[in-house]
Chain A
Amino acid sequence: MKAPVSWIREYVDLPADVSTEDLAARLTALGLKLEAIEKSGDQITGPLVVGRVLTMEPEPQKNGKTINWCTVDVGEANGTGEPQGIVCGAHNFAPGDLVVVILPGGILPGNFEISARKTYGHLSAGMICSARELGLGEDHDGIIVLPADAGAPGDSAFPVLGLDDEVIEFEINPDRAYALSLRGVAREAALAYGAPYRDPADRAVPAANDQGYPVEIEDPVGCPVFVARTVTGFDPSAPSPDWMVRRITQAGMRPISLAVDVTNYVMLEIGRPIHGYDADKLTGPIRVRRARDGERLTTLDGVDRALSTEDLVVTDDSGIIGLGGVMGGETTEMSATTTSVLVEAAHWDATSMFRTGKRHKLTSEAGKRNERGVDPTVTEAAADRVVELLTTYGGGTADQGVTVVGTPPAQPSIAMAYDLPARVTGMPIDAAVTVTNLEAVGCVLDKGDTGLTATPPPWRPDLTDPFDLVEEVARIVGYDRVPSVLPREAAGRGLTREQRLRRRVGRTLAGAGCVEVISFPFVGDAAFDALGLPADDVLRRTVRLANPLSSEEPSYTTTLLPGLLKAAARNIGRGATGVSLFETGTVAFPVDHGPAPIYGVDRRPSDSELAKLFEAIPEQPLHLGVVLAGERERAGWWGAGREAGWSDAVGLVRRLGTELGVDVEVVSAARMPWHPGRCAQVRVDGVEFGHAGELHPKVCQAFGLPPRSAAVEVDLDFLMRHARDVTPGPDFSTYPLAKEDVALVVDAAVSTADVEAALREGAGDLLESMRLFDLYTGDQVGAGRKSLAFALRFRATDRTLTEEETAAARDAAVALAAERTGAVQRS
């Protein structure tokens, strides 16, 4: 909402020395937030002065145009006092007229610099300005001719044209629709300064009679009040007065024609949107009803619209002539030949307005006000004001007929205890302050012993609850008076176990050289294809969005890998030689429990209702994804670097397992997007929770990643659920250690984990630890075979082991490995 300060001051007697900044600050403190302060003449640099035309010589040109060679008295503004010679193309003035002159050196909007220049055989030293050139709106028929008393030649034209006017732009919250008018803004200004206020809607109006245009309301809920007035003999070519054009422009709207400008002006002034019909195009009585199935209307913007049975329409005998309160129809539109105007000032149901506007994607200044709620009691005043302005400036006469159908809806009564404002705000607000402030915003109070009953003013449909009244009282007392007090110490239990573990996971990965990223969780078939997922892959079953950002990525993701792989490729593309990234984020899998219910809000849903609500929500586990691409260890003076590979990926999962106290099992698996021979499935207690390994070469290629890039994706929620809760203190022996190394030859397909497991089991309790320290393939063991060398460490808890005991344990280990895996001890 843009409010010219001079217009505000018309309704409120602000002290003369109140600055625009101070006014804006006080109104902001009341809840009308300052967006900007602008001056309409901001883009004009003078000298811009009043001039009197002394002479004008019409000079026909070869191109058929006639220009006027003028001399203009600009007083002392040109430094000489001599008349200024200026060429002017307009003809709507005569010698003796006062005009607006910009002299050489001045700048007009659009950074248009004025200089003395030769044109049409004269040296034209300046320009006689039109409204358009000054950014003051559209031209009617040439340059601005000022009223005879506008000033003397040489006076600055800025104040004369209102170019000095400051305009405050406010951001108006949805609950303060009344401030979408000067009437409302001025009322707040009066409140801010305790200054006297004159309500522009407070005017004597002619009484309703039965000679007005016939109107019938079939839906009094949708349209409680409809006022119709008629003006006849209106001159459609009459211009809007300059002051009106200026104010409409300052308020951010575009002047169009007198009839339209008047309706807009009154809307800005009083807040009530007005619709004007060409009365000669109306046939039969006006009716207001809901649209019927299949009905259509071509609105003023030329769009043919299918109507909904919820839409409120205005009809006459010809059919539908307007979408009530939102936009008129083409057939009864006012035009350049309209001489009879039917003025409609109606009150519309805000919710219907909002729904119709949303349904038809129609936003307008009128709709904006109607859907937020307008004072229902100002329809007659607004219509009368329109009639006044149309007859004053358009020369018509007002019909005697005054149609008023319906009555404004009653205001609610709100009961509130006197101590509620203090109890809610923590400010020492007593009953007297409460009463004063509520009356100041226009509430009518019925005061009891312990509380009051307030009837809010009709322009405040937002006031419905006691807490709404508290806000009114508090904002006038001043939010800056709210004390700063800490609540009592809460008995919190700290972070949850899961929250602590999540931090630990992040730190572990960062400690391992991985950089965390956050990607958008949207995915599409292209990414699934690039990952090489088969058509029936479970990851392709997604939660789809009805209105995705991009049709290429219509779903909430089921995997973190696309985002990670793209981020890795982006880093490589920007010159990184190696990149290790991780992300923890939720993915989503659809559930099939039907739609989520919508419950009422007058009570808490029951536990079973809540359970039904919760179960309709897609499964959203927290995943961890890692991508390792290119150099994992750098080359340097210490020697060669090392490229990332499958073992880095699997190693990270194992490391996390160690951090969280989970025994992670690793088994080989084949799963896209991983390399089928270099993919590990990771499990806890035999249950899979993700995969790690080298990416399939095709996937590296598809994402533009270096060959042999590796990746991890695991269900982090699952892993954290299995995290050890209480770690028992370890019991370890200090007796001497006995070492045994064994080298076992097995078939190449036998997994190390199986050999290890057999050795461990065979060695029994005396085995303290075991570690693979060498892997050999080659001639010495033969093709298709491999040699695994393990270091076994034995120790007893209660004695020093004898050589025989150690050897026996070792032999048992080897024997079981031989039995289970066909291992042969290498001599």
Chain B
Amino acid sequence: MSGPNTDYDPVEVTPLKSEEVDASRDAALAAIAAATDLAALKQVRIDHAGDRSPLALANREIGALPPQARKEAGQRIGQARGAVNQALAARQAVLEVEHEERMLVEETVDVTLPTDRVPTGARHPITTGSELIADIFVAMGWEVAEGPVIEAEWLNFDALNLGPDHPARTMQDTFWTDPPENHLVLRTHTSPVQARTMLTSTPPIYVVCPGRVFRTDEYDATHSPVFHQVEGLAIDEGITMAHLKGTLDHFAASMFGEGINTRFRPSYFPFTEPSAEVDLVCFVCRGAGVLDGASCRTCRGEGWIEWGGCGVVNPRVLTACGIDAERYTGFAFGMGIDRTLMFRQGIEDLRELFEGDIRFTTAFGTEL
């Protein structure tokens, strides 16, 4: 373009005529308004605001005007283009919102479709139940002790004041390894773990021992030759039956709910003296024995459930295990984990625990 054309009169440039500019602007605005989707609007943008749109072409002609006319023409074109761009932006926003809304509707799926591509796993209720019990005691500052299931006869019997003539030591009750002269048994209780703990550590001792035990019982709905037990042992200065009662009441409440406590009945265990049976307030009828007008099924109307055995550790046991029986006293208790779960979870047949049917176990999930 040549230098400023200051000498000329205003030149007529058709595209820059006010009516032409207005017409282009109006055409653009009409097209914008008529665009019904983002693709159409994109074409409108090219046609009416692109490099080859009438307004863009008109803009290029401004240089052809004499200087005194340029300002006015520039303003006119600028306003027109501004109006078009504003309309485009507004329309764009509207169409984007519309588009998104439509897409979200179109992408709707049936969220009730199954999602079980990989089957669910589960841990065994005896495992999770044992962990629950362990956690209750760990929270009281106790530790969890364990030991082998094939155990020395001396640890399973003698050390626990079950002398050579104790009835439990017969082949009728205990699994012996072959030959019996090797003095190895499948432990009949988890008490040998208590003996091991006393033999290898010094008081204070607060341990809970969950584990698998064996007796030559027949296998039926309520008996199994393989079952699980948890026993507890506390050895300290000044331990009394009252501490035993307090511990079991706390255990019962933690396992079965506030207000569920225990009662003691005199009993006999070689390991303890004095000894007691522990009954648990029935957590279903809460001790009433009746539920909805009928005799409670869980406790058979007694209001109490037999839970286990306990007592003050017999000083003979302390002596055999190297604990100073003059200085320390202790208490011990034991109960069946399987049986506890049976009445806690309402399991009717003990054998369900050992069949490995996934329908049984998955019902319990991964925690109890």
Report A's interface with B, CB cutoff 8 A. 28-31, 33, 173-176, 351, 354-355, 358, 423-427, 465, 467-468, 470-471, 474-475, 479-480, 482-496, 499, 503, 506-507, 509-521, 543-549, 554, 556, 563-564, 566-568, 570-571, 574, 576, 578-581, 585-586, 588, 594-605, 610, 613-614, 616-618, 620, 631-634, 636-638
- CB<8 Å pairs between A and B, sample of 20: A28-B265, A31-B267, A423-B329, A427-B242, A467-B273, A470-B273, A480-B263, A482-B264, A485-B240, A493-B143, A507-B123, A518-B354, A545-B176, A549-B225, A581-B358, A586-B149, A596-B152, A602-B319, A620-B148, A631-B119
Q: A425-B242, A610-B199 are in contact. Are A517 and B144 (CB under 8 A)?
A: no
Known: A546-B171, A556-B150, A598-B158. A484 touches B245 (CB 8 A): yes
Contact B121 A520 (CB under 8 A): no
**Nearest residue, chain A, Cβ from B135:** A495
User: How far does the Cβ of B135 sit from chain A's closest Cβ, in whole Å?
Assistant: 9
Looking at the complex, which of B3-11, B23-31, B61-69, B177-185 is the stretch in contact with chain A?
B177-185
Other-chain residue from B124, B245, B357 in contact with A574 (beta carbon distance below 8 A): B357
- Measured CA separation A571–B161 after assembly (Å): 44
Is there an interface contact between B268 and A483, defined as CB atoms closer than 8 Å? no
Chain B residues 224-250 with CB under 8 Å of chain A are: 225-226, 234, 236, 238-247, 249-250
Residue among A173, A510, A638 with most chain B CB within 10 A: A510
Smallest Cβ distance from A548 to chain B, in angstroms? 7
Extra contacts besides A597-B154, A617-B152 (7): CB < 8 Å: A358-B170, A471-B273, A480-B263, A490-B204, A507-B366, A597-B183, A616-B152
| Chain A residues within an 8 Å CB radius of B143 | 492-494, 496
Given contacts A521-B226, A567-B356, A610-B199, contact A490 B140 (CB under 8 A): yes
A492 touches B138 (CB 8 A): yes
> Within 8 Å of chain A (Cβ to Cβ): is B127?
yes
Knowing A468-B273, A483-B245, A596-B183, the reply to whether A515 touches B319 (Cβ < 8 A) is: no
Query: Contact at B159–A515, with CB atoms within 8 Å?
Result: no
| A426 B241 Cβ-Cβ under 8 A | yes
- Chain A: minimal CB distance from B11 (Å): 59
CA distance A659 to B112 in the complex (A): 33
Write out the residue numbers on chain A whose beta carbons fall within 8 Å of the beta carbon of B243.
Answer: 426, 485-487
Of all chain A residues, the one with the shortest Cβ separation from B180 is A546
A491–B141 CB distance below 8 A:
yes
Q: How far is the CA of A362 from the CA of B146 in the complex (A)?
A: 38
Q: Which of A425, A492, A614 has the most CB of B within 10 A?
A: A492
Instruction: Tell me the complex Cα distance, A724–B132, Å.
Output: 26
Taking CB as reference atom, which chain A residue is nearest B315?
A: A467
Q: Is the CB of B127 within 8 A of A516?
A: yes
What is the minimal beta-carbon distance from B249 to any residue of chain A, in angstroms?
5
Set of chain B residues within 8 Å of A474, measured between Cβ atoms: 241, 266, 274
CB-defined contacts of B263 to chain A, threshold 8 Å:
479-480
B73 at the binding interface (Cβ < 8 Å): no
Docked complex Cα distance between A521 and B228 (Å): 13
- The CA of A173 and the CA of B269, in the complex, are separated in Å by 9
Question: What's the minimum C-beta distance from A648 to chain B, rounded to whole angstroms?
Answer: 11
Is A496 within 8 A of B144, CB to CB?
yes
Contact A596/B178 with A471-B273, A601-B159 known, Cβ cut-off 8 Å:
no
A424-B176 in contact (CB<8A): no
**1/0 contact trace for B271-290 toward A, CB 8 Å?**
00111110000000000000
Contact with A along B120-158 (1 / 0, CB 8 A): 111110110001001000101111101011111111001
Distance in Å from the Cβ of B8 to the closest Cβ of chain A? 61
Docked Cα-Cα span, A549 to B186, in Å, equals 12
With a cutoff of 8 Å between Cβ atoms, the chain B residues found around residue A631 in the complex are 119
Say yes or no for B314: interface residue by CB 8 A criterion.
yes
CA A490 to CA B144, docked complex, whole Å: 13
Question: A510 touching B186 by the CB < 8 A rule?
Answer: no
Contacts A480-B263, A484-B261 given: A520-B142 contact, CB under 8 Å? Answer: no
Q: Which of B236, B249, B320 contacts A484 (CB 8 A)?
A: B249
Tell me which residues across on chain B come within 8 A of A588, comparing CB atoms. Answer: 150
Q: A465-B315, A515-B122, A586-B149 are in contact. Are A544 and B178 (CB under 8 A)?
A: yes
Chain A residues with CB under 8 Å of B292's CB are none
B348 at the interface (CB under 8 A from A): no
Q: How far is the CB of B239 from chain A (nearest CB, A)?
A: 6
Decide yes or no whether B117 CB sits under 8 A from chain A.
Answer: yes
Which one of B167, B177, B274, B319 has the greatest number of beta carbons of chain A within 10 Å?
B274
Using an 8 Å CB-CB cutoff, how does the interface string of B195-223 with A read, 1 for contact, 0 for none?
00001100010100000100010010000
**Cβ of B362 < 8 Å from any Cβ of A?**
yes
Residues of A within 8 A of B261 (CB): 484
Question: Is B294 in the interface zone, CB < 8 Å from A?
Answer: no
Instruction: Please name all residues of chain B whose beta carbon is closer than 8 Å to the beta carbon of A176 when the two chains form the complex.
Output: 268
The residue in chain B whose Cβ has the minimal distance to the Cβ of A351 is B165
**A440 vs chain B, min Cβ distance (A):** 15
User: Nearest Cβ in chain A — how far from B203, in angstroms?
Assistant: 11
Minimal beta-carbon separation of A142 from chain B (angstroms): 42
B177 touches A595 (CB 8 A): no
A174 CA to B167 CA, complexed, in Å: 10
What's the Cα separation between A426 and B152 when bound, in Å?
A: 35
Query: Whole-angstrom distance between the alpha carbons of A566 and B356 in the complex?
Result: 9
With contacts A479-B264, A492-B143, A586-B148 known, is A424 near B274, CB below 8 A?
yes
The answer to whether A617 and B245 touch (CB under 8 A), given A174-B167, A517-B124, A581-B358, is: no
Quote the shortest CB–CB distance from A711 to chain B (angstroms).
Answer: 14
Does residue B321 face the partner (Cβ distance < 8 Å to A)? yes
Contact A424 B329 (CB under 8 A): yes
Smallest CB–CB gap between B245 and chain A, Å?
A: 4
**Cross-chain contact A487 with B176 (CB below 8 angstroms):** no
Q: Is B100 in contact with chain A by the CB < 8 A criterion?
A: no
Cβ-defined contact, A581 with B199, below 8 A: no
Contact call A29/B266, Cβ cutoff below 8 A: yes
Q: Complex formed: what's the CA distance from A114 to B116 in Å?
A: 65
Q: Choose one: B146, B204, B274; the contact of A475 (CB below 8 Å).
A: B274
Q: How far is the CA of A489 from the CA of B138 in the complex (A)?
A: 11
**List of B residues within 8 angstroms of A597 by Cβ:** 152, 154, 183
Min CB distance A694 to B, Å, is 19
A503 touches B131 (CB 8 A): yes
**In the complex where A479-B263, A595-B181 touch, is A425 in contact with B152 (Cβ < 8 A)?**
no
Give the chain B neighbours of A543 by CB distance below 8 A: 150, 177, 184
What are the 3 tightest A-B residue pairs by CB atom distance, in nearest-first order?
A426-B242, A604-B322, A567-B356
Q: A517-B361, A571-B358, A601-B316 are in contact. Are A634 and B141 (CB under 8 A)?
A: no
Question: Which residues 159-194 of B sit at the A interface, judged by CB distance below 8 A?
Answer: 159, 161, 165, 167, 170-171, 175-184, 186
A577 to B64, CA, bound (A): 85
**Are A519 and B319 neighbours in the complex by a CB distance under 8 Å?**
no
Determine which residue in B123, B275, B315 has the highest number of CB atoms from chain A within 10 A of its CB, and name it: B123
Check if B118 is an interface residue, CB within 8 A of chain A.
yes
Query: Are A598 and B121 within 8 A (Cβ)?
Result: no
Q: Roughly how many angstroms separate A594 CA and B177 CA in the complex, as a whole number?
A: 13
- Name the distance in Å between B253's Cβ and chain A's nearest Cβ: 10
A751 to chain B, nearest CB (A): 28
Chain A residues whose C-beta falls within 8 Å of the C-beta of B200 in the assembled complex: 610
Do A638 and B117 touch across chains, with their CB atoms under 8 A apart? yes
- Collect the chain A residues with CB atoms within 8 Å of residue B329's CB: 423-424
From B268, B321, B354, give the contact of A604 (CB < 8 A).
B321
With A427-B242, A546-B176, A638-B117 in contact, is A601–B167 under 8 Å at CB? no
Give the most central of A506, A548, A567: most B CB within 10 Å.
A506
Residues of B within 8 A of A467 (CB): 273-274, 312, 314-315
Nearest CB in chain A to that of B237: its residue:
A488
Chain B residues closer than 8 Å to A509, beta-carbon distance: 121
| CA of A365 to CA of B270, assembled, Å | 23
B153 touches A598 (CB 8 A): yes
With A and B bound together, what is the CA distance between A609 and B118 in angstroms? 54
Q: Is the CB of B322 within 8 A of A637?
A: no
Bound Cα distance from A706 to B120, whole angstroms: 20
Please tell me if the beta carbons of B152 and A513 are within 8 angstroms of each other in the complex: no
* Complex contact B150–A426 (CB within 8 A): no
